[in-house]
Amino acid sequence: QKEVEQDPGPLSVPEGAIVSLNCTYSNSAFQYFMWYRQYSRKGPELLMYTYSSGNKEDGRFTAQVDKSSKYISLFIRDSQPSDSATYLCAMSAKGFQKLVFGTGTRLLVSP
């Protein structure tokens, strides 16, 4: 069993839709949770960073962490075609030492 599970998709939505992306994990030591966006053949770009449980909002993006269920989510409001990319969840037990990534979910937003 992988430490971090993420549905690879693709997830196809129309422009303007609310997108929900999720990851589950098995290691209860994880305390730091991140979402990265990766365009094709580019490096990952950090979108959201959350410590422990709770919600964090930044513009159209909201990250949620439920440590009791070992479940994290990223919501994208008013999705745009430019949001089409692969979204990677990542987590670590201590700061940014050894990030453990999910496989990534490919998101396609159609005009």
CA neighbor of 16 nearest in space, from 105, 109, 98 = 109
Give the range of 53-61, 64-72, 75-83, 91-99 binding another protein by CB under 8 A. 91-99
Residue 103 touching another protein (CB under 8 A): yes
Residue 4 touching another protein (CB under 8 A): yes
- Residues 27-56, mask of contacts with another protein (x by CB under 8 A): -----x---x----xxxxxx--x-x-----
Give the range of 12-20, 59-67, 69-77, 93-101 binding another protein by CB under 8 A. 93-101
Q: What value, to the nearest 5°, has the Cα angle with vertex 39 and ends 48 and 87? A: 40
Q: Which is nearer to another protein, 79 or 86 (CB)?
A: 86
Give the shortest CB-68-to-another protein separation in angstroms.
22
